[in-house]
Structure 1
Amino acid sequence: MVSKIRVLLGMLVLLALALGAIALLAAMKADAIWFTIVPLGILSGGATFVHSLGWFNKKAGG
């Protein structure tokens, strides 16, 4: 079983990065399509990357 805290913290970090990207896009006055592509890319790409490192696969308590 995977530690739920580990997954929650990992996804919160990715969410913070996505929100930062949204703020940066707003400051740059980017087109509306980028507000969808960039945050979803950060969340899905980041989760895939972290999962491939095995960070979400470690057993809870050990």
Structure 2
Amino acid sequence: MVSKIRVLLGMLVLLALALGAIGLLAVMKADAIWFTIIPLGILVIGASVVQSLGWFNKKDG
């Protein structure tokens, strides 16, 4: 089973990282394509890594 609270908190952390990356890209005056690639990459790769580590699963017992 999936713990909804863990998923929510995990995705909020990844969202904060993505927003931080957007801020850094803005400061560096990066090209527009990076504003799409980097945040989506953080969200997708981060969520798949966290899911594969089992952090979103409820503990039985």
Q: Provide the TM-score with structure 1 as the length reference.
A: 0.91
The answer to whether 1:8 aligns with 2:8 is yes
Name the % identity.
Answer: 85
Structure 2 spans left out of the alignment, 5+ residues? none
Q: Provide the TM-score with structure 2 as the length reference.
A: 0.92
Q: In the TM superposition, what are the counterparts of 1:18-57 in structure 2 within 5 Å?
A: 18-57=18-57
The one-character-per-residue Cα deviations of 1:16-49 (angstroms, maximum 9, x if unpaired) are 0000000000000000000000000000000011
Post-superposition, which runs of at least 4 consecutive aligned residues in structure 1 deviate over 3 A? none
Paired residues in the alignment total 61
Letter in 1 for 2:32: A
Letter in 2 for 1:7: V
Q: CA RMSD in A?
A: 1.4
